[in-house]
Amino acid sequence: MVKLVQVMRKIGMLSPRGLYRLLAAIFRYGINVMALLKIAERTYGESAAIADDRGTITYRELLGQCEVLSVSLRENYGIRPGSKAALLCRNHASLVKAIFALSWSGADIYLLNAEMNKDQLQDLLTAYDFDLLVYDEELSPFIEQAAYSKGKLLSYHEQKPAINLLSAGTAAKKRSGHHRASSGSIMLLTGGTTGKSKKVPHKPSLFHYLNPFYTLLERLYLVRYHTGYIATPIYHGYGIAILLLFVALGKKIVLTSGFHAPKACELIREHQVQAASVVPLMLDKMLKHNADDLRSLACIASGGAELNPRLVAHAFDKLGDVLYNLYGTSETGLNIVASPQDLKQSAHTLGRRIEGVPLYVLDSNMNETVPGAVGQFCVENYFSRSRQNKKWIETGDMGYRDSSGLYYLCGRADDRIVSAGENVYPIELEHILIQHPHVEDLAVIGIPDEAFGQRLKAYVQLVPESRQNAEQLMEWLRSRAARYQMPKEIILVEQIPYTQLGKRDKKQLV
């Protein structure tokens, strides 16, 4: 309760006017993210809400269009509480409108990875039998080839049924809207481009997300900033969380379909963006393109993949103490945050555990480890709807906590190899090799070995115009890596592949 009061004070809702807006919004919409948007509309009204590739709309316009859209979806597509709606969209205002409108309808919202292939899409359409599919026009060939016969709706179109047309209704239609309803779940589908997807349901709950919300306000100072850029895909758990946070704070939210470093730098400069959510690869590309365009940034929240020490140092050198690291999973949410000071203490750290989040490092017997000992990151289960009978949510991430309270990632449990009896994580070798002045990027995997059982294999991308060879890199390693960390082989590649979410795509290398 104390934390709730602290949050309400920070976002200006502890005053009589703020409390009235909260209660009035809940009375109108129920416990629903539309209530969040209503509070923002009453507080920030004519302030810019969304600026995307097609223009800018205010909070008042956004709320009105979401109300009209929700009624249209109910009347024209039969969307009701319990309906299943899939959103196959990149970042833009129509996606945001669909999320809020569907939530008010009580539908379960499935955020699909817009980069999936047609076979993966067909698998999902078959598995979940969606009542409505909202999609971007450029994905139409996939949709037309799919065996799907239920409701279809484009995100944007000037003649065909689309979110932009349905949301442009009249005030009379808005007044005929439905009554308040409990929000459906927001379903995050993990593994959308690399394997079999599984759904992770999140039902909006103030108390489940209070600690992470307060931490982002307190440690990242987000209340101070007026404009935020969401570079990460909204269909990812990190992206949707930042979107809802920015709406709650009344920020001007800058969006663009797809990430391109020149465009991203231009948007940050044009809108004088102060806070940005990125994955490390995005930050690296922007710094290399034009660091001067990023001077307005006071908070860069990096998540979704591991920061490497060279990128941390580069960001601090060019932009000052503005870089933060966020760690969490689709199911457990945000667990750990690193401040610039934490990253200066150790560029490898994930950061410090969020106060109130029951995150522990557990051994194979599910006992808590001592500082410095490697175990699995597990979160005590007090909220997961999909694992109600389990005490622990196992993240699959292996790491440790040091004596000062900083957490470190060693890799995924299935990345670990046993080489000559030693537990070895590919990330250990990656941390060493990235320090070589001629190494631009790399990825390390485990491979079978007749003598040792398993060994490491490194794929290395050299800096431009480097003439280093694999033998020279191997020789450089001998005095720096332990015997069991030495790779069996180093392969030089032109470029390390990444997924659309900014993680190294090691499957493409094998």
Q: Per residue, what are the HEC states of 235-267?
A: CCHHHHHHHHHHHHCCCEEECCCCCCHHHHHHH
Asked if 430 and 407 sit in the same domain, the reply is no
pTM value is 0.88
Q: Domain boundary residue among 179, 202, 225?
A: 202
Is 21 contained in some domain?
Answer: no
Helices (H), 320-410: 340-345
Does 451 or 204 have the greater pLDDT score? 451
Taking residues 282-294, report their average pLDDT: 97
Task: Give me the mean pLDDT over the 93-122 stretch.
Answer: 92
Do 279 and 352 reside in the same domain of the chain? yes
The 3-state DSSP class for residue 467 equals coil
Strands, E assignment, 62-205: 84-88, 108-111, 132-135, 151-154, 186-190, 198-202
Q: Is residue 97 part of a domain?
A: yes
Q: Based on the domain organization, do 68 and 196 belong to the same domain?
A: yes
Asked if residue 187 and residue 116 are part of one domain, the reply reads: yes
Q: How far from chain centre, in Å, is Cα 361?
A: 23
Domain containing residue 488: 416-508
Top-confidence residue, 214 or 481: 481
* CATH number assigned to the domain comprising residue 193: 3.40.50.980
Q: What is the CATH number of the domain that holds 329?
A: 3.40.50.12780
| pLDDT tens digits along 233-258 | 999 888 998 999 999 899 999 999 99
Domain membership flag for residue 43: no
Does an H or E element contain 431, and which? helix 426-433
Please give the radius of gyration of the chain, using alpha carbons only, rounded to the nearest integer: 24
> For residues 109 and 463, what is the distance between their CA atoms, to the nearest angstrom?
43
Q: Which residues contact 320 (CB under 8 A, 6 or more apart)?
A: none
* Predicted confidence band of residue 503 (pLDDT cuts 50, 70, 90): confident
If you average pLDDT over residues 246-275, what whole number do you get? 96
In this structure, the answer to whether residues 217 and 193 fall within a common structural domain is: no
Give the least confident one: 279-288, 397-406, 474-483, 493-502. Answer: 493-502
Question: Do 364 and 379 belong to one domain?
Answer: yes
Instruction: Let me know whether 154 and 279 are in one domain.
Output: no
pLDDT at 30 over 80: no
Interval 425-449 mean pLDDT: 94
Domain boundary (390, 414, 438) is at: 414
Packing angle, helices 93-105 and 237-248, rounded to 10: 80
How confident is the model at residue 442, as a pLDDT? Answer: 95
pLDDT at 175: 47
Please state, in angstroms and rounded to a whole number, the distance separating the CA atoms of residues 500 and 202: 22
Whether pLDDT at 359 is above 50:
yes
CA distance 111 to 396: 22
Q: Encode 94-128: b = buried (16+ Cβ within 10 Å), e = exposed.
A: bbbbbbbbbbbbbbbbbbbbbbbeeebbbebbeeb
Residues 383 and 294 in one domain: yes
Place 192 in a pLDDT band, splitting at 50, 70 and 90: very low
Q: Is 176 found in the same domain as 115?
A: yes
Evaluate whether residue 144 is within a structural domain. yes
d(CA 98, CA 450) in angstroms, rounded, equals: 55
Tell me, yes or no, whether 99 lies in a domain.
Answer: yes
Whether 95 is covered by a domain: the verdict is yes
- Does a structural domain hold residue 34? no
Question: Of 169, 202, 235, which residue constitutes the final position of a domain?
Answer: 202
Q: Residue 237: its pLDDT value, please?
A: 81
Domain containing residue 487: CATH number: 3.30.300.30
Count of Cβ atoms closer than 10 Å to residue 391 Cβ: 10
Residue range 204-230: mean pLDDT, rounded = 80
214 and 175 inside one domain: no
Please indicate, yes or no, whether residues 275 and 402 belong to a single structural domain of this protein.
Answer: yes
| Residue 115 falls inside a structural domain | yes
Measured CA to CA in angstroms, residue 170 lies from 69, 75, 165, 386 at distances of: 10, 14, 11, 40
d(CA 414, CA 220): 33
What's the chain's average pLDDT?
88
Q: DSSP assignment, residue 385?
A: S
Share of the chain above pLDDT 70, in %: 85
Domain count, the chain: 3
| Per-residue pLDDT reduced to its tens digit, 415-428 | 999 998 889 999 99
Q: To which residue do tokens 């294999």 refer?
A: 457
Does residue 298 or residue 28 have the better pLDDT?
A: 298
| Alpha carbons 394 and 237: distance in angstroms, whole number | 17
Q: Are residues 188 and 228 in the same domain?
A: no
